[in-house]
Amino acid sequence: MLSDAKLSKTFWGEALSTVAYVINLSPTVALQGDVPNRVWYGKNVSYDHLRVFGCKCFVHIPKNERSKLDVKSKECIFIGYGQDEFGYRCYDPIERKLIRSRDVVFVEHQTIEEIEKMQGSNTQIDGDLIDFDPIPTTEDATHGDASQQDEDHEHVDEPGIIDNRVEANHDVISPQTGIERGEQTSLQEAVNQQPRRSTRERKSSIRYPSSDYVLISDEGEPENYYDVLNHKDKDDWIKAMHDEMNSLKKNNTFDLVELPKGRKILKNKWVFKLKQGDGNIVKHKARLVVKGFGQKKGIDFDEIFSPVVKMSSIRVVLGLAATLNLEIEQLDVKTAFLHGDLKEEIYMEQPEGFEEKGKEHMVCKLRKSLYGLKQAPRQWYKRFDSFMVSQNFTKTNGDHCVYVRHFSEGNFIILLLYVDDMLIVGQDVDNIHKLKEDLSKSFDMKDLGHAKHILGMKITRNRECGKLWLSQEKYIERVLERFNMHNAKPVSTPLASHFKLCRKDCPHTEQEKEEMSSIPYSSAIGSLMYAMVSTRPDIAHVVSVVSRYLSNPGKSHWDAVKWIFRYLRGTSKLCLCFGDSKQTLEGFSDVDMAGDLDGRKSTSAYLFTFAGGAVSWQSKLQKCVALSTTEAEYIAATEAAKEMLWLKRFVSDLGLSQLTYVIFCDSQSAIDLSKNSMYHSRTKHIDVRYHWLRSAIEDQLLQLKKIHTDDNATYMLTKEVSEEKIELCANLVGLDTN
């Protein structure tokens, strides 16, 4: 292969990898004519993507790596396939880079030698410039998969000796150390050139001073083992590390063995975290984590999916507990992932600082899953699920992390699982204690008593009044402090009407992009989004709007984010309140017709209440452009109906039922359209998926009823509203101050 491609011996690793890749796609006698890849993965194989090794190719240069007048592609050499990675592997002989990309144009009849002949024997390399052949036309080129361009393009600097044995997390491959002179000429002589490095001085933004924002920082935890040795809380951290190692030994997590020949060893690291409660440090936590990015699919792991309990499920169960005055207990699983059994044979280096004397050369053979392994969450969930089934608990169909058990006397217990955090809700204290004892026998548990916090949400109860509040005040205050907005002037609305956000406000010049690059826009959106999905439906619409510009935010977009922070500054004490005497599930839907200035799409919104408080909500752009208000309202009602059926199924699994399930809509024409199919001539363009609503109503799965706009709680989820309107909607969904 190297000889035919006119490549030097330095590319032997890529050639070997390509040979193995092609062999695995070829029928073999050992498998009775079957293909190894099809047998291993259970999927049909394709050969359309195969190309001639060592051929000339042109790789697309992403927009963010070139200016307007720069060339859009660079001449490279095809040297292999991405395998578990994306796209093709191409070598840039000028910049000495390995490039992975899906957007590649191939010239399979040309090699390096033939390219040089076409360019002439006197090809001049002047500094960093070289004359390339023009990009081939469709008639003389073969195209790769160009479905993705900028997103699927990655540079790996300095390949030199290109070797697939380099770990997957390494983006930089060491430069070659021994190229024989005379093996490569012209283009290949450029391999020996030193890559250019930018000497431009990095300057901070003058347009956005540092006072406008701050980056998210940690709580003073050490970064690694050596930081622990010099930390002011050294003794506490070392004790935490010993506790972690004792847990590992107690669970027989690994055995010290000699590393078998040909096996790969995974690295690990210590992760340190201060556990806090009510703003005070509760515990120093140290955790040993495996660097699972070095694992290979099909060898070191297979399935990795593991469910977690939905936020909507948590709110429904807490609302039920408030209404029926149920007990709410909380448990935490110590080293939860250590309880999962491993099927694969995995080896890990000894933990830093805990190497056994005289056995430093030995490695840890994992018997149980460990944090960081790709399959660890999956194995833990399977282990816990089998335990709950053995205890006669039933997994709900609506949420696979909610377990229910009904007793003969009419009592019941509900358990919610979010990785290693558990909420137990029930009527009988004895039954709850019995479940705790059974859990402690099988897992290392920590009983936290009455639930006070869950996933960053504070739980406050007044059992005499039958009320329960969910709050994120502490979380919001920390976020405001992180972004230097804790002293900002509060505002009364999530977003003012003068904000008209669109793509025109995105940076267009390199200077504008550089100025915005230092602003933590994505981090701010992420912080806002967690508050929105947990307890704050009032900011759902505005967070949806500002998140549309994550890829290229402008100054006006950042100003809108800071406005949201100012709103949270004045409403940080708002919390969801549950405790209505009626255990009724109700839904609301609304729409903002063509509110999106970029694509003129409408914004759909729905919100569901249970036991007096909001349990599920959503605000998002519709997938199509509605041609009328009726059509937009009809689409929004359909999305709400799908969520209603899921909630209906979930509460039914909990043992609850009601005569009718109603969604309120403020558009009479949309209600008529859902009941009358005679509007076909005016609505035939509407997607079939939305006409499913008619079938659901005909089957009496739910009802769609008219409601006045002033009583529609979803109004605040579709558009910018006034102070009076936001207060009205907040009261309708149970948002108040405790």
What pLDDT is attached to residue 219?
A: 52
Tens of pLDDT, residue by residue over 235-274, are 889 998 998 898 888 888 888 999 888 888 889 999 998 8
Residues 6 or more apart whose Cβ sits within 8 Å of residue 145? 49, 87, 102, 103
> pTM for this one?
0.66
Helices (H), 217-310: 225-229, 234-250
What pLDDT is attached to residue 657?
A: 84
Of residues 381 and 216, the one with the higher pLDDT is 381
What pLDDT is attached to residue 574?
A: 92
Tens of pLDDT, residue by residue over 72-126, are 899 999 999 976 656 899 998 888 888 888 889 998 888 777 666 665 544 443 3
What pLDDT is attached to residue 129?
A: 35
Rounded distance, CA 376 to CA 342, Å?
8
Of residues 297 and 154, the one with the higher pLDDT is 297
Instruction: Give 444's pLDDT tier (boundaries 50, 70, 90).
Output: confident
Task: Taking residues 18-29, report their average pLDDT.
Answer: 90
Point out the least confidently predicted range of 36-40, 165-169, 669-673: 165-169
Of residues 13 and 205, the one with the higher pLDDT is 13
User: Using H for helix, E for strand and C for coil, what is the string for 93-105?
Assistant: CCCCEEEEECCEE
Instruction: Give 163's pLDDT tier (boundaries 50, 70, 90).
Output: very low
Of residues 414 and 374, the one with the higher pLDDT is 414
Rounded distance, CA 270 to CA 679, Å?
64
Sheet containing strand 412-418, edge to edge, reads: 394-395, 402-406, 412-418, 421-426, 327-333, 445-450
Around Cβ 687, how many Cβ atoms within 10 Å? 11
What pLDDT is attached to residue 200?
A: 55
Residues 6 or more apart whose Cβ sits within 8 Å of residue 514? 205
What pLDDT is attached to residue 390?
A: 92
What pLDDT is attached to residue 148?
A: 43
What pLDDT is attached to residue 646?
A: 93
Percent of the residues in the chain that have a pLDDT greater than 90, as a whole number: 33
Instruction: Give 543's pLDDT tier (boundaries 50, 70, 90).
Output: very high
Please say if the pLDDT value at position 571 is more than 80: yes
Cβ-defined contacts of 196-200 (< 8 Å, 24+)? 196/95, 196/128
Please say if the pLDDT value at position 437 is more than 70: yes
Question: Which residue's structure tokens are 């293909």?
Answer: 35
Please say if the pLDDT value at position 614 is more than 80: yes
Instruction: Give 535's pLDDT tier (boundaries 50, 70, 90).
Output: very high
What pLDDT is attached to residue 680?
A: 56
Of residues 110 and 322, the one with the higher pLDDT is 322
